Amino acid sequence: MTFGELNDRLLVSRIHREYSQKAFLMVEEFAFDNADERRKVRQNGTGWIEVIAGSMFSGKSEELIRRLNRARIARQRVQVFKPGIDERYSIEEIASHSGQKHMSIPVATTAEMMKQVKDDTEVIGIDEAQFFDMAIIDAANELAESGKRVIIAGLDQDFTGKPFEPMPQLLSIAEFITKTHAICVKCGSTANYSQRTVESEELVEVGAADKYEARCRRCFIPHADAPTLP
């Protein structure tokens, strides 16, 4: 038995002892394996907030799409939103760099998103959350309090390595946080930064491999740099 499994068993038996009358469930801190699905059971009628944060190419969209697909397989009602600003692949879909897709509704503002949320929706997905306005923070709390599972993916740092609002605030209010990493295209180590590879001082310069690449702490520079790969 691995250490993780042992921990799991101890925890589960403790929870059974303490809450033997109720269906339990909050095992997050102790169970690392496949915790995602087991930990998230609604209690007291509230939902919760999950944030997936990381650099470009780190697999945020992939992870978001994976969770949304599983929710759909479980026959939960899912709605997905993305900011109208990111038209990188398709207006009606969110897409990962590796090609997975999921239907989504483009919205210009948080208020517009909230108008479209249906009462009976159980799972709300939000991609590219760094492009939303600050009202997304209260909105995410409101949705979670009304019983919805809110899954938010976004870039946590801009091209200069600064925290990309409103992601820091969303990370603060989330019950669950997943940090994803890419591979540094220069040296192969863990990449935590999105290196801009075209000259522009704009904070928002929408693009993918044509304008950015993943870099580690050592290889990243907080302004435009020539691309590593031709």
Residues belonging to the active site: 128
Place of tokens 């760094």: 130
Which range, of 5-13, 29-37, 77-85, 95-103, touches ligand ADP by CB under 6 A?
95-103
**Four-residue CA torsion sign, 159, 161, 166, 170:** positive
Site string for ligand ADP, 8-47 (x = CB under 6 A): ----------------------------------------
| DSSP-assigned beta bridge partners for residue 54 | 155, 180
Phi, psi of 33 (to 5 degrees): -85, 125
Q: Hey, what are 26's tokens?
A: 């909050």
Q: Does 206 bind ligand ADP (CB under 6 A)?
A: no
Q: What are phi and psi of 118, to 5 degrees?
A: -90, 150
- In DSSP terms, 215 is beta-bridged to 193
Does the footprint of ligand ADP cover residue 195 (CB under 6 A)?
no
Report if residue 124 touches ligand ADP, rule: CB under 6 A.
Answer: no
Minimal distance, residue 30 CB to ligand ADP, in Å: 28
Q: How far is the CB of 135 from ligand ADP (least distance, A)?
A: 23
Q: What is the DSSP letter of 24?
A: P
Q: CB under 5 to 8 A by kind: which of Zn ion, ligand ADP, none does 96 bind? A: ligand ADP
Identify what 192 binds: ligand ADP, Zn ion, none; CB under 5 to 8 Å per kind.
none
Distance from C-alpha of 206 to C-alpha of 18, rounded to nearest angstrom: 51
Is residue 183 involved in binding ligand ADP (CB under 6 A)?
yes
Q: Which of 36, 38, 88 is nearest to 61 (CA)?
A: 88
- Per CB under 5 A, contacts with Zn ion among 153-192 are 184, 186-187
Partner that binds at residue 174, options Zn ion, ligand ADP, none, CB closer than 5 to 8 Å by kind: none
Q: Which residues are CB-contacts of 95 (< 8 A; sequence separation ≥ 6)?
A: 61, 88, 89, 101
Give the binding range for ligand ADP (CB under 6 A) out of 2-10, 38-46, 49-57, 216-224: 49-57
Choose from Zn ion, ligand ADP, none: what does 57 bind? Cβ within 5-8 Å by kind.
ligand ADP
Confirm if 107 and 116 have CB atoms less than 8 A apart: yes
Q: How far is the CB of 210 from Zn ion (least distance, A)?
A: 20
**What is the C-alpha to C-alpha distance for residues 167 and 60, in angstroms, rounded to an integer?**
13
Residues contributing to the site for ligand ADP (CB under 6 A): 54, 56-62, 96-98, 180, 182-183, 185, 214
